[in-house]
Amino acid sequence: MNKLHLLLLPVVGLSCVLHAQTENSMPDITQQQTYKLMRASSKEATGGNADYRKVTPGETLTILDADGPGMISHMWFTVAMSEPYSLKRIVMRIYWDGEENPSVETPLGDFFGLGLGIVQSWQSTFLSVGNSQAMNSFFPMPYGKHARVTITNEGKTSINSLYYNIDYRKDNHPLPPNTLYFHAQYRQAQPNKGWTNQWYENSDPMINYKRNTDGKDNYVWFEAKGHGQYIGVTMSILQNQDGWWGEGDDMFYIDGETMPGTIGTGSEDYFLGAWDFGSAFSYPMYGAPVVEKEIAGSRSSVYRFHLDSPVPFTKSMKATIEHGHANQRSDNFYSVAYWYQSEPHMPFPALPPVDDRIPRLQIVGGPGNDSPNKPAGSLLPR
């Protein structure tokens, strides 16, 4: 079936986003839709113009509480908060069908690929950040009984203005059988622990001839049990050492594999660039919106979505990547993995404390980081 046929298929309610490839899953606008489009927003209840919410330190605000069946089709956020790295201090959680453990748990900025706490415009099929910190998600998020979205302020100052619009569909038809639910999980390593710092450049023989066939000590993007499919990842990097950070291979373990069944050829290759990326770029399914010089203190952000072939698993999956060839580098990684699966899901690892999420250079030794007096404080506030 070609793309034209997919676009011309009659679509009713939620099924349009559950049976076609995501890039072709918009409703057929020539057919009458049967859902009711709803919106949860930060509008002022009295009808005034103060269309935002203030969230005090430690406060959790429920921004969507809706019965199903239904589907979140779009989320938009923008935030005004004076505290540095505010997008790392605000946590979004999403709960499906009354579950106690959230299916989405991530700092707000990281969910939108802003893992360094720096606002950078970029665009993809699922996620985009427009100018002036306008964050958008177009992931289809179906739910059978209930959806709840919360925002928690883990900072020391108030979120002065939280603006949001969440568009969702209310449907009278139950979800199709075997519908998978959206999940997103934050992870970080600050730093990754390289197996050595006694090297001068990535091509040193002691590095190049090191073997890592089983993926031990790889950085983990996510791990899940149940059945579903992995659809992609956003990742940000703060270099603690000089040189190219991206010599690591991606490795996937599917359905109980003890050795990775899928192994890539390098970090920039997995993110569909080449030769250290060279410069920033942003495409529908892959990109590197932030590319800086290959020295300690430099930042990078990358993303990849598997819309062409979501990676299916029937029992379990773990997606990982090396930090440098055979894990010799000790840079900082911050990531969010995105996948769909059946419920219940495997509990997530505990979210790191807010102070530990702020990107900071680490004293790890090695090129560009070999001085005992090298500062390990945070970068300049953003």
- Check if the beta carbon of residue 175 is closer than 8 Å to that of residue 14: yes
Closest by CA to 379, choosing from 355, 356, 359, 363, is 359
In order of their start, the domains of the chain are 1-34 (no CATH), 36-170 (2.60.120.1390), 181-357 (2.60.120.1390)
Structure-block tokens of residue 1:
């079936």
Per-residue pLDDT tens for 107-157? 999 999 999 998 999 999 999 999 888 999 999 999 999 999 999 999 999
| Residue 258 DSSP label | S
Question: CA 32 to CA 182: how far, in whole Å?
Answer: 26
Q: For residue 360, what are the CA distances in angstroms to 127, 158, 205, 240?
A: 26, 23, 30, 9
A 10 A CB-CB count for 280 gives 15
What SS3 class is residue 241? Answer: coil
- Check if the beta carbon of residue 50 is closer than 8 Å to that of residue 81: no
Which residue pairs, CB below 8 angstroms and at least 24 apart, start in 21-29? 21/307, 22/125, 22/126, 22/140, 22/231, 22/307, 23/125, 23/284, 23/307, 25/140
* 202-216, 240-254, 275-289: the lowest-pLDDT one: 202-216
Structure-block tokens of residue 358:
């702020």
Per-residue pLDDT tens for 208-241? 889 999 999 999 999 999 999 999 999 999 999 9
User: Residue range 91-120: average pLDDT?
Assistant: 97
* Residues contacting 263, CB < 8 A, separation 6+: 249, 250, 251
Question: CA 127 to CA 149: how far, in whole Å?
Answer: 18
- On average, the pLDDT of the chain sits at 91
| Residue 147 DSSP label | E
* Residues contacting 327, CB < 8 A, separation 6+: 192, 194, 195, 212, 216, 217, 218, 248
What does pTM read for this prediction?
A: 0.92
Question: CA 260 to CA 321: how far, in whole Å?
Answer: 11
Q: Where are the alpha helices (DSSP H) in 141-203?
A: none
State how far Cα 352 lies from the chain centre. Answer: 15
What SS3 class is residue 15? Answer: helix
Question: CA 47 to CA 60: how far, in whole Å?
Answer: 24
Whether the predicted pLDDT of 6 surpasses 80: no
Whether the predicted pLDDT of 46 surpasses 80: yes
- Half-sphere exposure in the Cβ direction for 245 (13 Å, CA): 30
Whether the predicted pLDDT of 7 surpasses 90: no
What SS3 class is residue 249? Answer: coil
A 10 A CB-CB count for 160 gives 15
